[in-house]
Amino acid sequence: MNRQRSSHLFDAARGLMPGGVSSPVRAFGAVGGSPFFVERAEGPYLIDVDDNRYLDYVLSWGPLILGHAHPTVVAALQRAIHRGTSYGAPTELELDLARLIAEAMPSIEMIRFVNSGTEATMSALRLARAFTGRSKILKFAGCYHGHADLLLVQAGSGVATLGLPDSPGVPAATVADTLTAPYNDLDAVDRLFAAAGAEIAAVIVEPVAANMGLVLPVAGFLDGIRRLTTEHGALLVFDEVLTGFRVHPGGAQGRYGVIPDLTTLGKVIGGGLPVGAYGGRGEIMELVAPAGPVYQAGTLSGNPLAMTAGIETLRALREDLVWEGVADACERLAAGIGAAATAAGVPGQATRVGTLLGLYFAEAPVASWEQAKHADTRRFASFHRAMLERGVYLPPSQFETWFLSTAHGDAEIEFTLAAARAAFAAIA
């Protein structure tokens, strides 16, 4: 494919923006080459400035579960934008979206809208510390909860892709109260609670780890965390920024039947516009200002355009079998990818849950960050380039997750599998 104009734009971008991008993994550092620049998008496709078309499995990193420029969402946004883009005052739209979320996730009795997943997680943990009167937070290696200082410890995702174990600029004192345990290792969590349970304010976890690739919780892991937090008086925070409405219509908590005290959300609830939220039990959320003393504010929080896109997206997902159709397509794709790797003699592990898919170039299934780190990133990079040349855009890192949408139909799945068979054969 000719990407001459994209190449020129990237050269110019590197002189204006760090690394030429507004978010690190977009720079293709983990897979080689340079990124293409998008001109427009439609359905399951991106079209770049050189007029190349790509079948998209990034989908803006998850929000676009209805695909790009969904007609209903676009029409609603067109109506909304004529009424103004931001008010800095309450709107009924916030209530509508809050009700839709609470109906899907009954654990959320009250909610506060913010503008990003990072804002949501940092705010939820500040609230957890205030509610418990404790200082320590427990997170899991390889789980990414945004770029707040206290959470950039063994953070997986883009940090792992860049080879940064943490980040310069984060003072040691800031992370001194952040404990870490291996994901899927309940014994390690038990030991940490035995040693410091009276000091732990909260455990924050991606209930499905989707920022070290895609790692599912082993049987009993989430239930065990719920039991330990309850026993020790700590709060359980589910980071469902990525998994919310992706692994189940009721989020991971709906899929696995484990109820957190607080939940953080983003991505899908904004329908492709910037958004985040945190919510949970009323007695906890009542501590948030102005109802209580825990301060948090945001100029664009509850933005009417983001609320509009989120409302239309969640309403569409509630229609009969819409979500199930995306999950079925994802299951067919995962099975086909696994079969194609086996047929080519390439060690590949395809993982799927709901509308999410992951692929590791590894000999055995991956259940932790330690195992994920030993997957063959060079082979993934070769596979990524081979797929891109065949018109399929995958997340440019083995430690990211693939996303499907309602726009990925039978023809798109078959196109992807044909490209994958050729790509596996090319790198075998």
Are both 4-69+321-427 and 71-317 of the same fold? no
Residues of the chain with pLDDT under 70: 152-167
How far are the Cα atoms of 12, 47, 294 from residue 418, in angstroms, in the given order? Answer: 35, 20, 53
Question: Which amino acid is located at 359 in the chain?
Answer: L
Domain 71-317 adopts which CATH fold?
Aspartate Aminotransferase; domain 2 (3.40.640)
DSSP state of 60: G
Does residue 305 contact residue 80 with C-beta atoms inside 8 Å? Answer: yes
Helix axes 304-317, 71-81, angle to 10 degrees: 150
Cβ contacts of 340-349, under 8 Å, gap ≥ 24: 340/417, 340/420, 340/421, 340/424, 341/420, 341/424, 343/421, 343/424, 344/421, 344/424, 344/425, 344/428, 345/428, 346/379, 346/424, 346/427, 346/428, 347/376, 348/424
pLDDT at 46: 98
Alpha-carbon distance 207 to 248, whole Å?
12
Give CA 22 to chain center in angstroms.
17
Pick the CATH number of 4-69+321-427 from 3.90.1150.10, 1.10.10.10, 1.10.3720.10, 3.20.19.10: 3.90.1150.10
pLDDT at 154: 59
pLDDT at 1: 86
Alpha-carbon distance 306 to 93, whole Å?
9
3-state secondary structure of 102: helix
Q: Token pair of 20, please?
A: 């030429």
Does residue 331 contact residue 408 with C-beta atoms inside 8 Å? Answer: no
Domain ranges of the chain: 4-69+321-427, 71-317
**Catalytic residue IDs:** 144, 239, 267
- Of 362, 414, 358, which is closest to residue 390 (Cα–Cα)? 414
DSSP state of 165: S
pLDDT at 146: 86
- Of 332, 308, 325, which is closest to residue 405 (Cα–Cα)? 325
Alpha-carbon distance 136 to 404, whole Å?
36
Whether the bond between 165 and the residue before it is cis, its omega within 30 degrees of 0, is no
Q: Token pair of 334, please?
A: 């995962």
3-state secondary structure of 390: coil
How far are the Cα atoms of 13, 94, 168, 294 from residue 120, in angstroms, in the given order? Answer: 30, 16, 23, 14
The DSSP element (H or E) to which 205 belongs, if any, is: strand 200-205
Q: Token pair of 87, please?
A: 């008010």
pTM given for the model: 0.94
pLDDT at 166: 60
How far are the Cα atoms of 112, 288, 297, 299, 310 from residue 98, in angstroms, in the given order? Answer: 9, 16, 17, 19, 10
